[in-house]
């Protein structure tokens, strides 16, 4: 709770110069007749910086933010004050001291239900005796359920030539994000950003292109959520001015570590190739050799811990399930007789429990009184739910059904059912929260056996 209220954040950036790998020092003497000469490229850290910030809520409407920045060349400290307005908006003031003094203010206001705007201004370099007033006005509006448009005008207030006008449209969905921006001014430019979101894999693929009069660049990269608190990202930046850069980013909770690695001052093929494929290969090797075994071991330890904690409760649930199944035997035998007479739906066996173990298990449960710790026999309960040669289960957890219980609390569970219908044997497997309706018209025939009499 304290961490959420302070919202502490930190960013560490280390810029690495690795251009010597692809652009060897031109002043070295390569005419040396000694064949044993081996050139070792130099990789150095060109600069480092660190920034931290924390919030201090004073009231429900007032917040003070303290932040600082320290680099190998300079440093600064800043503070800002933010107040929520009663008229659907807020105002923010900030002061930064370090390389000169920066004083700024920003106001946000909802004009209508779909239109909002911001006005911000700042004064920079007061210590040098020269005032540089900078201002910016932005208007935004909703163009649809997932589309927003912006138009902004900003720049140095004392010089019209340093003022630019930009318009931007962004479209955000569950599976993708797209942004297009056009800038008009001293340095016209157009930029496009597109992101693919793979929610099931916790993966983002991103590509960004910018074409401008002064500079053009292309960026593409991937971002992967490794665990609940850890995120890894790699981006390749091809810049007309700065060359080829590989940016590695690692996020751990509220801490961010960024490593921009400059590979080449010029746009050449080798650094682009290595910057693209080396991170991909390194990721797959690290994932299969290091991360997966660690995560599997951690998961197993957590599962064993939960099993030990719930051991007593599990024994009680198992006994309750056995008692319920004993009471169902007479009903089950009657339903089996009725379904046998009309060649209807008869459950041969059904298993419910741990997803991994149940896939490895190939034995049938001939004795319905035998319940395994992580896999239970639910043949009798399911047969009692058969009505008019049909079995229908809704899309909720199955452990709440009569005769069921949760044999592996907190773990992934599946239900596998083998049944006979019209003298043919079928098998179906579903996840715990998946709906089930059998017989299925296109069920897969897995084996033939004599239906129970």
| pLDDT mean over 207-236 | 92
Half-sphere exposure of 190 (CA within 13 A, CB side): 1
Q: What is the rounded CA–CA span in Å between residue 233 and residue 247?
A: 8
Distance CA 201, CA 214 (A): 38
| pLDDT(162) > 80 | no
Q: Residue 297 has what pLDDT?
A: 87
Q: What is the pTM of this model?
A: 0.70
According to the model, what pLDDT value does residue 59 have? Answer: 82
Res 148: pLDDT: 96
User: Would you state the pLDDT for residue 4?
Assistant: 60
Buried b (16+ CB within 10 A) or exposed e, 48-59: ebbbbbebeeee
Cα of 166 vs its chain's centroid, Å: 31
Q: How confident is the model at residue 129 (pLDDT cuts 50, 70, 90)?
A: low
Q: Rounded to whole angstroms, how far apart are CA atoms 397 and 325?
A: 19
Look-up of token digits 């946000």:
108
Antiparallel, parallel or unpaired: β 391-393 and 230-239: unpaired
410: pLDDT confidence band, cut at 50, 70 and 90? confident
286 vs 159, which has greater pLDDT? Answer: 286
357-383 mean pLDDT: 66
| Whole-number Cα distances in Å, 180 to 197, 265, 281 | 18, 28, 32
- So what's the pLDDT on residue 171? 96
- The average pLDDT across 234-251 equals 94
User: What's the length of the chain?
Assistant: 453
Looking at the chain, the whole-number percentage of residues with pLDDT higher than 90 is 39
Residue 135 or residue 186, greater confidence: 135
Asked whether the predicted pLDDT for residue 406 surpasses 90, the reply is no
Per-residue confidence (pLDDT) for residue 60, from 0 to 100: 80
The single residue listed with the structure tokens 């590695």 is 248
Q: Lowest-pLDDT range, 32-41, 99-108, 240-249, 310-319?
A: 32-41
């Amino acid at each position: 709770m304290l961490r959420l209220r302070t919202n502490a954040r930190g960013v560490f950036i280390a810029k690495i110069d690795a251009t010597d790998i692809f652009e060897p020092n031109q002043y070295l003497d390569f005419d040396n007749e000694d064949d044993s000469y081996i050139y070792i490229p130099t990789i150095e850290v060109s600069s480092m910086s660190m920034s931290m910030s924390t919030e201090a809520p004073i009231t429900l409407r007032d917040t003070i933010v303290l932040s600082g920045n320290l680099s190998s060349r300079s440093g600064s400290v800043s503070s800002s004050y933010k107040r929520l307005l009663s008229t659907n908006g807020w105002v923010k003031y900030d002061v930064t001291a370090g390389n000169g003094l920066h004083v700024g203010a920003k106001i946000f206001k909802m004009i209508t239900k779909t239109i909002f705007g911001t006005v911000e201004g700042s004064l920079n370099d007061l210590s040098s005796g020269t005032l540089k007033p900078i201002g910016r006005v932005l208007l935004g509006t909703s163009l649809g359920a997932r589309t927003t448009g912006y138009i902004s005008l900003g720049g140095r207030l004392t010089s019209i030539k340093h003022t630019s006008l930009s318009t931007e449209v962004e479209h955000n969905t569950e599976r993708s994000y797209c942004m297009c921006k056009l800038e008009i001014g001293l340095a016209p430019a157009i930029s496009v950003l597109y992101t693919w979101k793979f929610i099931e894999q916790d993966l983002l693929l991103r590509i960004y292109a910018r074409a401008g009069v002064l500079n053009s660049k292309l960026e593409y990269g991937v971002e992967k959520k490794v665990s609940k608190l850890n995120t890894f990202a790699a981006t390749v930046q091809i810049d007309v001015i700065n060359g080829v850069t590989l940016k590695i980013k690692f996020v751990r909770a509220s801490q961010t570590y960024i490593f921009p690695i400059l590979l080449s001052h010029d746009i050449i093929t080798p650094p682009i190739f290595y910057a693209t494929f080396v991170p991909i290969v390194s990721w797959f090797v690290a994932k299969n050799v290091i991360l997966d075994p660690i995560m599997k071991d951690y998961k197993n330890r957590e599962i064993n811990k939960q099993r030990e904690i719930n051991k007593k409760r599990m024994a009680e649930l198992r006994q309750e399930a056995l008692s319920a199944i004993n009471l169902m035997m007479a009903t089950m035998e009657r339903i089996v007789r009725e379904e046998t007479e009309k060649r209807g739906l008869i459950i041969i066996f059904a298993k419910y429990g741990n997803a991994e173990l149940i896939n490895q298990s190939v034995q049938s449960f001939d004795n319905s009184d035998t319940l395994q710790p992580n896999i239970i026999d639910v043949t009798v309960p399911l047969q009692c739910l058969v009505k008019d040669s049909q079995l229908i289960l809704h899309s909720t957890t199955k452990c709440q059904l009569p005769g069921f219980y949760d044999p592996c609390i907190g773990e992934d569970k599946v239900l596998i059912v083998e049944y006979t219908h019209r003298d043919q044997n079928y098998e179906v497997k579903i996840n715990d929260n998946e709906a089930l309706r059998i017989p299925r018209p296109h069920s897969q025939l897995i084996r033939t056996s004599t239906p129970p009499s």
